[in-house]
Amino acid sequence: MKKKILLKIFMLFLCVSNFIGCDKNNELEDKQEIVKMYISHETSTYIPLGSSKPIKCLLVKEEGEREYSRLPFEGITGFIYEYGHEYIIKVEKSINIHTHANAVRTKYRLIEILEDKTINTSPQWDILIDESNDYEIDISSRYLGIQGWWCIANPPRIYVGAVFPKNTFATSFDKEIMEKKKSINLYFNFQDPYITYLDDARLNKYLKKMKDAISSKEYEKHRFPNRPYIAKLAELKNLNDLWYCIDDNDDFAKTLIEVGKQDLDLKDIESLCVGKVVHKNFTVSMDTPENGLFIETPSNLNELVFVRSLTYGTSAYFLIASRFNYQEVLSALKGPYLEEKQREEVLKESQIILLTVTDIRQTANISKSFNELQNYLNNPFTNEPTFAYGYPIFCQGQYAKDNSLYIKH
């Protein structure tokens, strides 16, 4: 009797084990399902496999999950994330089992955006001066590097008359269209204008014309402006807010965050802020090609944009950590709103990291002095003849097909 009972128990155990085993096998099968996903307005960073460099990513969670997890920006096919937006989306979730690699791969594909809400938590610039125009595309921070850090400047090969596909214009500026172009006139808006003739619109020819212009008597009489073209500050909750303030150059933003962590004492501070100052020098522009820019029309003419003008200048970026509140720091910097003694006290109890970019190499020099900031504001252009004109801070583009203005979205 006991043997029969033990045998029945053993057979029942086998049945249960088989049932669980079957269930586990079913779980290891590829499957697809429709899920609701929540995407945070905040982002995070992760280090890709095989890399030591962190990059930004999404924070997401599926319906029913309590915690957000990291997902690359390209992790949802068909979905384009916009900073400062919070989303609820419907996605197709595909789970693929790689039995040989003993790994599970999950893919998401956007089906529908159910909700798109703007969350205004990013730092807001306090504009002190802004004389820029809507048709100018700001490229003043896009290609910058920092002296002595791994953040290397990558200035593009751009010049007035250069032509690019619209999908690289004012971004990577690559895939330049090299078909031969008609001759153009170049206009330098010095106080006494300088005009020259470019018979072959190529970079080496353009740089020669730039050298001639800088050596001209018109440029010798040119007066460098000492009033900033742009001056603005923004209060930061923490250093990571710099991602929002310098959103067109991830390497530059990340390195400035690391510089701040290394060189600022953030204990017992009342405020943290970032500032940007841009000085405009002069603009080089070309005449509008009435009968087209090319000698032989390219087949993809409708997709091409040419550089109509480049504005040269210099820029400065700075971080300030202070024992005074943000409004007091702002007042101490922007004008005679505090008594001199009070202003000196504010600056004395504040720390600064200053990055200045003054030449075509687009590599920022670092200093830690408010005197250096004042020196830059007093003399934003170096005395070196080769680099005195700065670097491209704004560009303007026009479509090659009809000379209409290119608007960067």
Per-residue pLDDT reduced to its tens digit, 14-29: 444 444 444 444 455 7
Q: What is the dihedral of CA 152, 158, 164, 166, to 10 degrees?
A: 70
Q: What's the rounded mean pLDDT across residues 328-355?
A: 83
User: What tokens does 314 get?
Assistant: 């210099």
Residues 188, 191, 195: CA angle, nearest 5 degrees: 30
Q: What's the rounded mean pLDDT across residues 364-384?
A: 88
Per-residue pLDDT reduced to its tens digit, 233-271: 999 989 989 998 999 999 999 999 999 999 999 988 999
Classify 212 as helix, strand or coil: helix
Contacts of the segment 165-169: beta carbons below 8 A, 24+ positions apart: 165/300, 165/303, 165/304, 165/305, 166/303, 166/304, 166/305, 166/399, 166/406, 167/303, 169/305, 169/397, 169/406, 169/408
Decide: pTM greater than 0.75.
Answer: no
How many CB atoms are located within 10 Å of the residue 271 CB? Answer: 18
Select from 130, 153, 141 the least CA-distant residue to 317: 141
User: What tokens does 247 get?
Assistant: 């959103």
Q: Which distant-in-sequence residues (6+ apart) come within 8 Å of 231 by Cβ?
A: 127, 128, 129, 130, 275, 276, 277, 278, 334
Per-residue pLDDT reduced to its tens digit, 216-227: 999 999 988 889
Per-residue pLDDT reduced to its tens digit, 41-83: 888 888 888 877 777 899 999 999 989 999 999 999 999 998 7
Task: Map tokens 């206009």 to a residue.
Answer: 187
